[in-house]
Structure formats: structure tokens, C-alpha cells
Amino acid sequence: MKTTDPAATEEAIRLVHVTKRFGDHVVFPDLTLAFLRGQTTVVLGQSGVGKSVMLKLILGLVKPDRGHIYVDGTDITGLTERQLIPIRTRFGMVFQGAALFDFLTVYENVAFPLREHRRLPESEIRRIVRAKLALVDMEGTDDLLPEELSGGMRKRVGLARAIAMDPEAILYDEPTMGLDPMTADTINELILRCQRELQTTSVVVTHDIASAYRVGDRLIMLYEGQAIADGPPEAIRQHPDIRVQRFIHGDADLKAGAPHTRGGLA
């Protein structure tokens, strides 16, 4: 029986009082966040703050120790692997390193989720694959292997695979990591294009503040397992908390005991 959340009319994804630890390391002591339908939310924070863990929680790949996670109003926390399959097919996932299958061509990589989860004739798979490759400016690369692609091209193919099944939501794990500024901006433009054309709910986790300003409707900053800032890009840019300002300006010395302004979230 489904457990539903009345807030789901506007909230596509909701984490409520989520606690997660690995051994003695507490990633999230008590995290509550909501991601609004049709909006691009960028989650910022230094490496190790739990951004990727949050994505795994949303997909049900990792279970919280306490709390609840809702997807379109359905509490997925207690679902089995079999029950999670239809939930996961509503998501597209763009992995940090693209995570393409090295032994498959570009075409076969993008076709993979369609073959796994949909019963479609090959002509329809071909139409979808080529349409998605065109959306990310990768026409004519069908027969190439991942080793023949640059880092930016692999990211594009990863995005094409993520949108192959027209997902309701797309999760991006450090989409511009390891890319030069020009290639990173190309990826940012593709994120914006997919948002405009597919009208998805997007969650982008990154430590790249320039990309965050470029693609985000809303920015959240995580620090020690808590959201210490939450608002539109301009509000984050002017946020009074010194920890936020240090992150924005590239100061790596974010110590837990550093002085900061407390005045609620932006």
C-alpha cells in the first residue's frame, strides 16, 4: 500500500528528517529538503559533504537510518528492490564520470535503458536514440566507442542515455568535474536545454559555483550534513553566512569552529 504525502502536488522529491551514517561517520544528522517539480535545484558543498549520498538516497540505492524519502508523494523508504524499479525508471542519472559501458558503442549505450525497461521495436529505439543524441549535439557518433570520445563528449552521451526514457527527473552528479571551462559551459548549456525542452525536475550536485549560478533556479549549500543556505542564486551570492561566502570565493578553510552569521536560511 502506498504511503502518500500531501505536499507532493508541488514537491517532486522530499527528504524528511533523514539520518544517514556510515560506521562512526555521520553524513546527515537530520536533513529535511524538498525539490520542486519542474525546477533546477543545485546542491553545493565541498567534497565529502554528502552530495552524492543524497542522490543515492533519492534513488533508493542507499537506505536512511531514520526518516523518510518521498518521490511524487510515495514513501520509498521501505520499498524492496523490485518495488523500486518503476520508481527509478522515472529518473535519469548523469554520473560523475559518465559511467558509459566501455564495450558498447555510443548508440548501444544510449539504447541500453530502453532495451532494459521498454519493449520497443528496433526502429523506435533507433528513432529515440538518434533524437536524444541530436539534443546533446552528438549526431553521427553512433558507432564510436567511449575510448574514442573526449571527456566532454562522454558527458554528453551520458546525458543522452539519462534522458532516453523521457524521465520526470534528472539527477546530475558533478556534471562539469574534470572539464575545461569552455567544455563545462557547453555541458551547462545542455542542462539548460534539456530543462527547457523536457520540463524535468533537475537536481544538480556540484562544487562548481560558476556552473551553479549558470543552471540553478535555486541553490542549496550543505555543510556538516545540514542545509545552511537555500534560495535563488542572487540570494546565495549575498548570503550573510561566512561559510557560504568562503565557499563562493574558493576559500577551502571551512572549519567547523569558524565564526559565522546565523540568521536563518536565505
**What pLDDT was estimated at residue 254?**
45
Whether residue 207 is predicted with pLDDT greater than 60 in this model: the reply is yes
Could you tell me the CA-to-CA distances from 263 to 31, 144, 175, 191 in Å, in that order? Answer: 18, 53, 32, 33
Whether residue 99 is predicted with pLDDT greater than 70 in this model: the reply is yes
Over range 194-211, report the average pLDDT: 91
**What pLDDT was estimated at residue 96?**
80
pTM listed for this prediction: 0.85
**What pLDDT was estimated at residue 167?**
93
84, 76 contact by CB (below 8 A): yes
143, 133 contact by CB (below 8 A): no
- Taking only the tens place, the pLDDT of each residue in 27-83 is 999 999 999 999 999 999 888 889 999 999 999 999 999 999 999 999 999 999 999
Q: What pLDDT band is residue 88 in, cutting at 50, 70 and 90?
A: very high
Portion of the chain with pLDDT greater than 90, in percent: 70
**What pLDDT was estimated at residue 171?**
95
